[in-house]
A and B are shown apart, each in its own frame.
Chain A
């Protein structure tokens, strides 16, 4: 497989042909912000936080979907990108009901961390306050649509790793919601194996284990690396 050499934020970086800018950057210690990407499942470019500038390209491109190319010059943290990222985060906060202080993931949440990293100290947009439900029909887990950012990590891990494809998106635009099977309450889903992988990869408090109070939810993604390593390298190692 051929190796490509490119420049990311002034640093010479190499990547394999077909590898994404996102992966090449992270391997080189350049942390591009992300919300929908999770290692071990496919990328969809849903959150747009990993947008980067590529010299000679007018459009901003999602680093998680753009393969490295020889001689590419990439910028990941320009003022323009920081402004876009801040606005994306503000849109996410304004679109649903992220009340961090009373959320099970308070202090552990990826959205909360990204906002802090971006220096987001208030949301300039008007909060929408959509009326959304909480599905607690599952015996062990809950789905709080108020906290969902529609990153679709749950859908992809359920489909690609567990092989159940319980989750999907219903509706369009801001009215999109995550549904189980054909829109049944989660507890009545026939395809769900109750494995909990979706809960562990969810970046916010949208998917949680029942019985957790404010700030008590912890998520553990080590299982994903274990499964992916086992599949790809046939090594069953932790």
Chain B
């Protein structure tokens, strides 16, 4: 609960995903006003914040693919009451995890040497470039997840329903959702 506005505090996080789930979130369109009336949206990929705030609900898009994201999601988990895996990359690894068929070295070689045309070479020693984990993981493999919203991407309707269920204190009705849908 936000101390000033007395509304539940909501955040969204973007890990290893294509941002499609966030685009779907933006498809809430005019319902964003209703959402704003019901919840204090205090952190998102579009928000400038130094430290992830204490929140009631966080939607996590994307799989965990870098060491930085691993640290970030652990931090987010500590500061969030209800954590939702938001979309297939968060839930299953999805397309992001398809690099798991190859070693990290092979993946970097392909991206930064074999197919590079301008600057050829793997960026190393630069702390601004996060280190890739050996394996891309779904979010629930690294932190406890409370709810799973499948879909690539979930529709705005489903996102809205989930958020309204959570804000009304109901257990979200997520049965019958399909992976990939």
Contacts and interface: CB of A to CB of B under 8 A. Distances in A.
A117 B179 CA distance: 12
Given A122-B91, A122-B92, A101 B176 contact: no
Contacts of B95: 99, 101-102
A99 B145 contact: no
Given A99-B98, A101-B152, A103-B180, A123 B92 contact: yes
B150 A129 contact: no
Contacts of A99: 92, 94-95, 98, 180
Given A99-B98, A101-B94, A121-B148, A126 B141 contact: yes
A119 interface: yes
A76 interface: no
A98 to B, nearest CB: 8
A121 B97 contact: no
A127 B177 contact: no
Contact of B101 (A93, A100, A126, A129): A129
Contacts of B92: 93, 99, 122-123, 127
Contacts of B180: 99-103, 106-107, 112
A121 B178 contact: no
A238 interface: no
B131 interface: no
Interface string B124-144: 000000000001001011000
A113 B148 CA distance: 17
Contacts of A174: none
Contacts of B94: 99, 101
Interface string A117-154: 10101111011010100000000000000000000000
Contacts of B97: 127, 129
A72 interface: no
A32 interface: no
Interface in B26-47: none
B175 A112 contact: no
A122 B176 contact: no
Given A99-B95, A123-B92, A113 B101 contact: no
A115 B150 CA distance: 12
Nearest to B150: A121
B176 A116 contact: yes
Contacts of B176: 116-117, 119
B88 A101 contact: yes
Interface in A145-189: none
A134 to B, nearest CB: 12
A113 B178 CA distance: 7
B100 interface: yes
Interface in B164-181: 174-181
Nearest to B92: A123
B12 interface: no
Nearest to B93: A127
A78 to B, nearest CB: 18
Contacts of B147: 121
Centre residue among B100, B148, B178 by max chain A CB count within 10 A = B178
Interface of B: 85, 88, 91-95, 97-98, 100-101, 135, 138, 140-141, 145, 147-148, 150, 152, 174-181
18 contacts: A97-B98, A99-B180, A100-B88, A100-B180, A101-B94, A102-B95, A103-B180, A107-B178, A107-B181, A112-B178, A116-B176, A121-B91, A121-B177, A122-B91, A122-B145, A127-B93, A127-B100, A129-B97
